[in-house]
Amino acid sequence: MSDNGAGTGARNFDAVIVGAGFAGLYMLHKLREHGYTARVIEAGSDVGGTWYWNRYPGARCDVESLDYQYGFSDELQREWTWTERYATQPEILAYIQHVANKFDLKRDVQFDTGVVGATYEEERARWTVETDRGDTYTARFCVMATGCLSAAKVPEIDGIGSFEGDSYHTGEWPHEGVDFTGKRVGVIGTGSSGIQSIPLIAEQAEHLYVFQRTPNFSVPANNAALTEERVHNYRENFLEIKRQARETRAGMLVQPNEQSVFEVDPEERQQEFEKRWGQGGFHVVQAYADLLATEKANETIAEFVRSKIREIVKDPDVAADLEPHDHPLGTKRVCVDTKYYETFNRDNVTLVNLRKQQLEGITPAGVRTAAGDYELDAIVFATGFDAMTGALLRMDIRGKDGLRLEDKWEGGPRTYLGLSVAGFPNMFTITGPGSPSVLSNMIVSIEQHVEWITNCITYLDREGLDTIEATVDAEDAWVEHVNELADQTLFPLANSWYLGANVPGKPRVFMPYVGGVQVYGEKCAEVARNGYEGFSLGAGERVAVEA
Ligand code: NA7
């Protein structure tokens, strides 16, 4: 361990951590607990990661607040009280602030600083990390806690720079908020961000045009204030709930039904769907065991949701345009909304179906489609992210022999366990591609990764080892396994950001691991138990580093 501690202006650390969201902060906390020095480098002016940037109206987590909190500290959970079933972005941000303050984390974070590159120096077994301020940091370990949905994607639309009104990306929302009162507003994109923000923007705007390329499935949140009883029960069983969550597929306790949808008659099925729809959120997808397994089963739930759209939306033509038909339900992340479909019954809201009138471009005055011009005062790009790899590839990361990550991943991301990349020793990717990440409760997956990485580092030190690097063979086998599993599911049938399909030119590779949190966690534990099987461990001569 180096003794040149953080917070003193020192530039050499045991670890540099990129990103101060849930992942980076917990990584810092764990490393400190074990006596390591670490510096977190964060582009934002404060902690929070995705919850720092995504401040658009209606931004909430689609995982219930009680489940979407750290599990590592009983004391922490006892002193924090969530107010709503689905927490708002400000409440989640307040929670992360609380965590950062409680554990005194901010003193080791360098804010307002973007990492532009990271280079591994083989001789000294150290990473050199460069920032956009021109600083460099060196560290034995480099931990990428850069998030899966952190590289906002502004679409490549003709004339995008020519618009003379105001424009915003949901993932980079102004901190002071935006007042759309009296404005003609266009929202481009109907993923989760669009679907959450549209109802609230509609309440303010003089007129709202929703530019929809692909309709998504959305289910009601049925959000409500949490009762004292629910909070109390959760609190008293917290550690057990958190333990059990790691033994599930999605990293949270749901009520799965073991039955096939075809084992019940249509009437019973309808009742079950209605019950789950009433419960809100992802419950509906859990109604039967095979809903995400076969297209035929999936069609039953897809058609149920479409029937709800027809029931809610009064204009049948608008309802028809909102009905998703091009992908099985759940193969894109199901959206969780509050009054999304109802919004299309408002007189000041117009749905523009870009499949019927193609988007031709953006003009100084608004949006142009094949059917004509829409004059707008403001455009909201709810167009998503260069997911999972974007934040990593926007940095110039170079491993052994100058190998660039960008070149290595030219055909799509390749990792061992989503945690490590062959050719990039002592670099870890928290919830990287090839791990359950976005298919799971992120907090659970983040904690599992952080704890695995911490155990790995302490193991190396105990054994007198300096370096750890995934072998090419282990990486190849893992990539093949991840692909094989994905190919057995319906996921590849959707043009989703899971596959990189939303970014023109991005290799079409299914990035998350679909095997679930439990299976994945067991695999990681087994690798560690077997002396970090699939990794080569090195005991080179460590060069003393001057502060
Ligand atoms: P998503 O889910 O990637 O949604 C982006 C939306 O923007 C989607 O409807 C896209 O349509 C649309 N889009 C993107 N580019 C264009 C262009 N060029 N023209 C028209 N429409 C476009 O991002 P979100 O931010 O909503 O959600 C991301 C995740 O955050 C979400 O899944 C949750 O996990 C939290 P498309 O479907 O590509 O036709």
Does 202 lie in the same domain as 178?
yes
Tokens standing for residue 508 = 């079409």
Beta bridge partners of 372: 369
- Residue 540 has a pLDDT of 65
Tokens standing for residue 211 = 């530019």
Region 532-544: what's the mean pLDDT? 78
292 belongs to a structural domain: no
Q: Which residues contact 530 (CB under 8 A, 6 or more apart)?
A: none
499 belongs to a structural domain: yes
**How close is the Cα of 195 to the center of ligand 1, in Å?**
10
| Pocket flag, ligand 1, residue 154 (CB < 6 Å) | no
Tokens standing for residue 427 = 């670099």
Give percent above pLDDT 90 in the chain: 95
Is residue 70 within 8 Å of 241, Cβ to Cβ?
Answer: no
Q: Determine how many CB atoms are found less than 10 A away from the CB of residue 107.
A: 8
**How close is the Cα of 301 to the center of ligand 1, in Å?**
22
Tokens standing for residue 308 = 């709800």
The answer to whether residue 289 scores a pLDDT higher than 70 is: yes
Checking 484-487 for CB contacts under 8 A at 24+ apart, the result is 485/513, 485/514, 485/515, 486/510, 486/514
286 belongs to a structural domain: no
Does 394 lie in the same domain as 437?
yes
Closest atom of ligand 1 to 213 CA is: 39
Region 468-495: what's the mean pLDDT? 96
480 belongs to a structural domain: yes
For residue range 412-436, list pLDDT tens digits in order: 999 999 999 999 999 999 999 999 9
547 belongs to a structural domain: no
- Residue 117 has a pLDDT of 97
Beta bridge partners of 381: 169, 188
- Residue 257 has a pLDDT of 86
What's the pTM? 0.96
Is residue 210 within 8 Å of 69, Cβ to Cβ?
Answer: no
**How close is the Cα of 212 to the center of ligand 1, in Å?**
10
- With cut-offs at 50, 70 and 90, classify the pLDDT of residue 10: low
Structural domain total, the chain: 2
Q: Identify residue 378 by its one-letter amino acid code.
A: A
Region 81-102: what's the mean pLDDT? 98
81 belongs to a structural domain: yes
Tokens 């739930």: give the residue: 301
Instruction: Name the DSSP letter for residue 147.
Output: -
Does 99 lie in the same domain as 51?
yes
Does 467 lie in the same domain as 507?
yes
Helix, strand, coil share (%) of the chain residues, nearest 5: 35, 20, 45
Does 482 lie in the same domain as 359?
no
CA-to-CA dists, residue 428 to 143, 172, 456, 504, angstroms? 5, 26, 11, 27
Is residue 143 within 8 Å of 21, Cβ to Cβ?
Answer: no
Classify burial at 232, counting beta carbons within 10 Å of its beta carbon; exposed 0-12, middle 13-18, buried 19 or more.
Answer: exposed
The mean pLDDT of the chain is 95
Does 335 lie in the same domain as 195?
yes
The answer to whether residue 7 scores a pLDDT higher than 50 is: no
- With cut-offs at 50, 70 and 90, classify the pLDDT of residue 9: low
Range of the domain at 122: 12-151+387-538
Region 341-345: what's the mean pLDDT? 98
Does 447 lie in the same domain as 472?
yes
Does 142 lie in the same domain as 178?
no
Q: What is the CATH number of the domain that holds 163?
A: 3.50.50.60
**Rounded Cα distance, 329 and 83, in Å:** 30
- Residue 488 has a pLDDT of 95
In this structure, the residue with its CA closest to atom 4 of ligand 1 is: 191
Q: Determine how many CB atoms are found less than 10 A away from the CB of residue 540.
A: 13
Does 534 lie in the same domain as 398?
yes
For residue range 142-184, list pLDDT tens digits in order: 999 999 999 999 999 999 999 999 999 999 999 999 999 999 9
**How close is the Cα of 384 to the center of ligand 1, in Å?**
5
Any alpha helices (H) in 183-227, and if so which ranges? 192-204
CA-to-CA dists, residue 116 to 10, 151, 208, 397, 466, angstroms? 19, 14, 38, 8, 25
Stated length of the chain:
547
Of 105, 96, 83, 17, the C-alpha closest to 53 is 96
Instruction: Name the DSSP letter for residue 205.
Output: B
- With cut-offs at 50, 70 and 90, classify the pLDDT of residue 1: very low
**Rounded Cα distance, 193 and 390, in Å:** 18
Tokens standing for residue 132 = 């956009």
Closest atom of ligand 1 to 332 CA is: 32
| Pocket flag, ligand 1, residue 436 (CB < 6 Å) | no
Q: Identify residue 59 by its one-letter amino acid code.
A: A
In this structure, the residue with its CA closest to atom 3 of ligand 1 is: 384
- With cut-offs at 50, 70 and 90, classify the pLDDT of residue 3: very low
Closest atom of ligand 1 to 193 CA is: 26
Tokens standing for residue 498 = 């899971």
Domain end, chosen from 384, 402, 419, is at 384
Domain end, chosen from 319, 352, 384, is at 384
Question: Following DSSP, what letter does each residue of 408-456 receive, concatenated?
Answer: HTTTS---BTTTB-TT-TTEEETT-BTBSGGGS-HHHHHHHHHHHHHHH
**Rounded Cα distance, 35 and 33, in Å:** 6
440 belongs to a structural domain: yes
Is residue 351 within 8 Å of 342, Cβ to Cβ?
Answer: no
146 belongs to a structural domain: yes
**Rounded Cα distance, 1 and 12, in Å:** 11
Is residue 277 within 8 Å of 221, Cβ to Cβ?
Answer: no
- Residue 295 has a pLDDT of 97
Domain end, chosen from 318, 353, 384, is at 384
Does 457 lie in the same domain as 394?
yes
Does 94 lie in the same domain as 54?
yes
Does 83 lie in the same domain as 138?
yes
For residue range 499-527, list pLDDT tens digits in order: 999 999 999 999 999 999 999 999 999 99
